Chain A
Amino acid sequence: MNRSPYISNAPTVSTIMFKVLLALVPGIAAYTYVYGAGIVVSLVLATSTALITEAALLKLRQRPIQPYLMDLSAVVTAWLLALSLPALAPWWVVVVGTFFAIVIAKQLYGGLGYNPFNPAMVGYAVLLISFPLIMTKWPAPLALATQPLSWSEQLSFIFQQPLPASMTVDAISSATPLDYLKTQLMLNKDVASISQAPIFGHFGGQGQELVTAAYLLGGLYLLQQRIISWHLPTAFLLALSGMAGAFYLMDPSHYANPAFHIVSGASLLCAFFIITDPVSGPTTPKGKLVFAAGVGVLTYLIRVYGGYPDGVAFSVLIMNMCVPLIDALTQPRVFGHEK
C-alpha cells in the first residue's frame, strides 16, 4: 500500500490556535490596564459561551466533540469578538454576539474550515446593527474618567446592576476618538483643534496607543512563529495609511493623519489577528495582498464616510465575500507552465 509520506512536521491546529491566543495576551493586559478589568469578564463570558455553543452544535451535528473543542478555534473567535466590543458591554451582548459567531457563522456553515465569513466579525456586525447605542458606548480610559469605576463596580455594571447613585452612564463612558473626530468634524471644527481633546493622546486615542503597541508585539510574535504570513498585515497597514495619507495631504484640516488611523479603533487587531484568519481569507500570496489592501481601503472609507464608528468588521465581511474570486484570479504560475 502506498500511504507515504510517513513523516510529518507541522504544528497541530490546536498549537496554531494556542499561539494566536498567546499572542493576544499582551493586548489583553494593556487593555485591562487602560480600561479596567471589565474586559476579563467579557473574555470569560465569551469563552464559555463559545465552548458551550460549539459543544452543543457539534453534538447536534453528530461530530466528535473533544477534538473539535480542543482545536481552540472557538476560543480564538470568542476572544477576538470580546476584544472588539466596548469594554463594559452588558453580559447579554457578549453572549448574543458569541452565540451568533459560533452557531450561525461557524457551525451552521459546517464548522471549522467551512465558514466563508470571519465568525467574530459576523458576531460583531450583528451586534452593531442590532444594538447600535450600546456598541458605541465605550468606557472612558480609566485615566480620563471623572469617576473611574472600581473592578467590582465594573463587574456589576456588566451584569446590569444599577450604578452607584452618584454616577451616570455618561460619566463613565465616552465616545471613541474615531467617533469623536467624526462628530466634531460635522460641527465644522478642524482636526488640529479636535485632537486637543483629552481623549486624544500622542497619535490616537489616549491609552489606545498602549493597546496598539501590545497588539503589534503579539503580531510580531505570530510572524516570527510563522503562524501568519507577512502579506496580510503589511498590505492592510500600507493600504490604510496610504488612504489616510492621501486624504491628509489633500486637506489636513479635515482628515486625520495616517498615524491616527493606524492607532485608532481595531486597526492593529485587524492587521494581525482578524484578517489573518486563514479559513475565511484567501490562500494565494497575491490574493492575500489584494484581500488585505481591500480591507484597508474599505476600513478607511467606512470610517470617514460611513455611519459606523469603525469600519473593520464590515470591510472584512465584504472582502470575505470576494475571497473565492480573489483566489481564482491570483493563482500563481505553476512550475513549467506559462502564466
Chain B
Amino acid sequence: MNALLNLASRLLLGLGRDNDVYAFNGGVHPPEHKAESNTRPITKLSTPKTLVLPLRQHVGYLPKVLVKVGDRVLKGQLLAEAEGTVSAAIHAPTSGTVTAIDEQVIPHPSGLPDTCITLSCDGLDEWGPLQPINWRLSDKKNLVDSLRLSGIVGLGGATFPSHIKLRSNSQSPIHTLIINAAECEPYITCDDMLMRERADEIVAGIEIVKHLLGAETCLIGIEDNKTAAGEAMKVACQQGQALVKVVPTLYPSGDARRLIHLLLDLEIPSDKRSTDLGVQVFNVATVLAIHRYFAFGEPSISRIVTVTGNVASPQNFEVLFGTPLSDLIAAAGGAQANTSHFIMGGPMMGFDLPSSQVPITKAANCIIAAKPDLFPAAPPAMPCIRCSRCADACPVNLQPQELYWFAKSDNFEKARDYKLFDCIECGCCSYVCPSTIPLVQYYRYAKSEIIAADKAKEAADLARERNDFRLARIEREKLERAQKHAERAAANKTEASAQADAAEATPSATPSDSAVSDKQAAIAAAIARAKAQKLANGPTATEPAASKPAPSNADAQVTPADKQALIAAAIERAKAAKLAAAQAGLAPKNTENVSPSVQAEIKQTDAIREKARKLTESDTSEQDKG
C-alpha cells in the first residue's frame, strides 16, 4: 500500500525530480495558525532583573553546580557543568550575582518544583572571556569535547545534549545529515523566522556539523507552508552545502523518524537508532547554536521563542534562558483578559504551564496564551465505535483503537504486543476521534504503568533471587554441619569397630545365620569400604560403585554407612583442598580450589550484586530524565 502511495506521489511530483518525498501513513493537517506570529521580525527581549535557571533543562543527568550564593558571575560563565555522559552545562545568560540555589516551579508537565539557580542581573551584560575555535584547524575529538562545555542541546524540543550526537562512532559512520526544519506543529514559527533571518548562520552551522559527523550529504526538510524560509535556505546553500527538500505540510512530518522516511525512503527499525543506519538529525536552531559557539565562543544562553495565541501582538523573541514567562508575555503586548492559561509547545504535543512565573528554558520553542474558545474543553468522551479513523491517522501505523481498549482494561501485556511503545504520542488519533476519547492520555498511562511494573518486577526478581540464594546457602551450611557431625561419628565408629574386628575371629558365612551376625557382617563390610576409600583418598576417588565389595544381601542395610563413608571422603577432600589453599597462602576469597558448584554459586552472587548495583544506577538515571 505504501509502495503504491509512494509511486503515486512520485508520479504526481514528477519522476526524477530531486524533490521527491516518500509519504508515511496517516498524519493530520490541523489549521496552521502560523501567520499570526511570522509577520514580525525576531525581537531581542531586554534583560530582566532576575533570571531563574533550572538545572533540569535537558534530557539526562543533572549538571553539577559550580557557583554558590553570592558569587558574581559574568555573561557566558559556566554555572553548572555536565556530569555523566548524558548531561549538559548551564551558563550565565548575563552578568550578575547568584542570589539563590533552591527549588522553584519549572516548566515541566509534572508541575513540580526543581532546583534552580537564581541570578540577579546587574544590567552590565558583561561577557566573560570568549574563546572562539577555528573548527577547520582543530581535531574533531577536541571539538566535540569542547562542545560538552557549550550547554547546547536539541532546540527542537527534545533537548538531547548535542555533543553526544556528534561523537564519532566507528561502527556506523554517518553518511547523511538531516536538518529538521519541518516545524510541523501549528502555531510555532521560531524555526521559520530563524531561517528567514539567519539562513547564512544556519548553513555555517551545517558545515561544522557535517564536518564533525563526516557526513557526505545534508538534506534540509522544510514543509511547503514555509516558502520564504525555504527560499532563504536555498539561497544560503548555493554552494551545495546542503540540499533543501520541501515536504508536504502534514503533521507530524517533523518527527525525526517520519522526516527520515520522507526524505530518504528509509524506515528506521523500531529497535535501532537512525545513527545505526548512518543518518543523524539536527534541528535548525541547534546547528546555528553550534556555529555561534565555535565562531564566537558563545555558549547556549538564549533561544528564539514564539509567543502567540491570545496575546496582543504575537511574534518571535530572542529570549535569555531563565527569563520569566510574564516578561515575555508583556513584551508581546500582554495577554488578553480572557486568557485562561499558557501552553508550552504546540497544540498537538504541548503541555499546560503551572504558572506565568515559570522561566523560559532550552525546551521552550513556543508559548501559546490559551483562552476557552481557542482550545475548548473536549465534550465528555463517548464509547469507541471502532470507526478506525485513528488507525487511518496514525503515522506509525498502529491500531489506536485496540491500544485504547487494552489500556482501558489494564491489559498491558496485550498493549505491549500491539507495539504501544512505538507510539510517539503525536496526538493524531485524539485529533480525529469522533468520540473525543483522550487516547494519548490512555497511552501515557499504560506506558508509565508498564514501565513501573517492569521496574517492580525486576526488583522483585532480584529480591527473590537473593532469597533463593540465601536459602540455598543456609541449606548448604546445614549440610556441611551434618557432614562434620557424620564425619566425627564415623571416626568414632571406626575406632570402635576396629577393636571389635580384632575380637571377632570367625565371620559368619551362611545366610541362615542370626540377624545379629548379619548386621555385624554388614558393618564390617562398610568399614572395609570406608577404609579402602580413605586409602584411595580424595579428588581421584571417583567411582564408589566400582569399589563396592559388599555382598548383595547386605546392600539395603549397608547404604547409610556407605553414604557416611562417602561424606567422610568428601570432607576429607575439602579439608585437603583447604589445607592446600592455606599452604599456598592464597587469599580466602580465592575461588579456584573450591568445588565447581560452590564456584558457580559465588559467580551467581557476584552477578546478583552487579545487577543490584545496575538497577539502583538506572533508577537514578531515570529520575534524572526530563
Query: Is A284's CB within 8 Å of the partner chain B?
Result: yes
Q: Do A9 and B30 have beta carbons less than 8 Å apart?
A: yes
Known A6-B343, A114-B383, A335-B25; judge A16-B396 contact (CB<8 A): no
Query: Is A187's CB within 8 Å of the partner chain B?
Result: no
Q: Do A335 and B422 have beta carbons less than 8 Å apart?
A: yes
Across-interface contacts of A13 in B (CB, < 8 A): 382, 385, 434-435
Query: Is A161's CB within 8 Å of the partner chain B?
Result: no
What are 7 A-B pairs at a CB distance below 8 A? Answer: A1-B111, A1-B351, A2-B352, A4-B347, A6-B375, A73-B385, A332-B391
Across-interface contacts of B349 in A (CB, < 8 A): 4-5
Query: Is A306's CB within 8 Å of the partner chain B?
Result: no
CA distance A285 to B394 in the complex (A): 13
- Segment of B116-124, B231-239, B438-446 in the binding face: B438-446
Known A3-B438, A336-B269; judge A113-B352 contact (CB<8 A): no
Q: Which residues of B contact A (CB under 8 A)?
A: 1, 24-25, 28, 30-31, 109, 111, 186, 257, 261, 267-270, 343, 345, 347-352, 370, 375, 378-380, 382-389, 391, 395-399, 401-402, 418-419, 422, 427, 430-436, 438, 440-441, 444
Q: Do B386 and A9 have beta carbons less than 8 Å apart?
A: no
With both chains docked as a complex, state the minimum distance between the C-beta of A59 and any C-beta of chain B, in angstroms: 17
Across-interface contacts of A278 in B (CB, < 8 A): 385-388
**Interface class of chain A by DSSP:** loop
With both chains docked as a complex, state the minimum distance between the C-beta of A88 and any C-beta of chain B, in angstroms: 33
Q: Do B401 and A7 have beta carbons less than 8 Å apart?
A: no
CA distance A285 to B270 in the complex (A): 22
Known A278-B388, A337-B422; judge A8-B431 contact (CB<8 A): yes
Closest residue to A68 on the B side, CB-wise? B382
Closest residue to B419 on the A side, CB-wise? A334
Q: Do B24 and A7 have beta carbons less than 8 Å apart?
A: no
Known A8-B431, A283-B399, A284-B391; judge A335-B382 contact (CB<8 A): no
CA distance A185 to B375 in the complex (A): 65
Known A9-B431, A10-B389; judge A2-B351 contact (CB<8 A): yes
Interface positions of A from 1 to 34, Cβ below 8 Å from B: 1-13, 15-16
Known A279-B386, A284-B399; judge A4-B24 contact (CB<8 A): no
Q: Do A8 and B422 have beta carbons less than 8 Å apart?
A: no
Query: Is A111's CB within 8 Å of the partner chain B?
Result: yes
With both chains docked as a complex, state the minimum distance between the C-beta of A175 and any C-beta of chain B, in angstroms: 37
- Extra contacts besides A9-B431, A335-B397 (11): CB < 8 Å: A4-B343, A6-B350, A9-B30, A10-B433, A11-B434, A67-B382, A283-B399, A284-B391, A334-B396, A334-B419, A335-B395
Closest residue to B28 on the A side, CB-wise? A9
Q: Do B267 and A4 have beta carbons less than 8 Å apart?
A: no
Known A13-B435, A336-B267; judge A4-B350 contact (CB<8 A): yes
With both chains docked as a complex, state the minimum distance between the C-beta of A99 and any C-beta of chain B, in angstroms: 22
Q: Do B383 and A283 have beta carbons less than 8 Å apart?
A: no
CA distance A283 to B391 in the complex (A): 8
With both chains docked as a complex, state the minimum distance between the C-beta of B181 and any C-beta of chain A, in angstroms: 22
Among B24, B261, B418, B434, the most chain A Cβ lie within 10 Å of the Cβ of B434
CA distance A334 to B418 in the complex (A): 9
Across-interface contacts of B25 in A (CB, < 8 A): 335
Across-interface contacts of A15 in B (CB, < 8 A): 434
Q: Do B399 and A4 have beta carbons less than 8 Å apart?
A: no
With both chains docked as a complex, state the minimum distance between the C-beta of B99 and any C-beta of chain A, in angstroms: 30
CA distance A85 to B31 in the complex (A): 46
Across-interface contacts of B347 in A (CB, < 8 A): 4-7
CA distance A229 to B386 in the complex (A): 13
CA distance A94 to B352 in the complex (A): 53
Across-interface contacts of B388 in A (CB, < 8 A): 229, 278, 283-284
Closest residue to B396 on the A side, CB-wise? A335
Q: Do A283 and B432 have beta carbons less than 8 Å apart?
A: no
Q: Do A1 and B109 have beta carbons less than 8 Å apart?
A: yes
- A 324-339 binary contact with B (CB < 8 Å = 1; else 0): 0001000111111110
Q: Do B422 and A336 have beta carbons less than 8 Å apart?
A: yes
Q: Do B348 and A7 have beta carbons less than 8 Å apart?
A: yes
Closest residue to B30 on the A side, CB-wise? A7
With both chains docked as a complex, state the minimum distance between the C-beta of A2 and any C-beta of chain B, in angstroms: 4
Q: Do B431 and A113 have beta carbons less than 8 Å apart?
A: no
CA distance A8 to B389 in the complex (A): 13
- A 266-294 binary contact with B (CB < 8 Å = 1; else 0): 00000000000011010111000000000
With both chains docked as a complex, state the minimum distance between the C-beta of B107 and any C-beta of chain A, in angstroms: 12
CA distance A200 to B399 in the complex (A): 46
Q: Do B399 and A10 have beta carbons less than 8 Å apart?
A: no
Closest residue to B111 on the A side, CB-wise? A1
Query: Is A179's CB within 8 Å of the partner chain B?
Result: no
Among B267, B349, B386, the most chain A Cβ lie within 10 Å of the Cβ of B386
Q: Do A111 and B431 have beta carbons less than 8 Å apart?
A: no
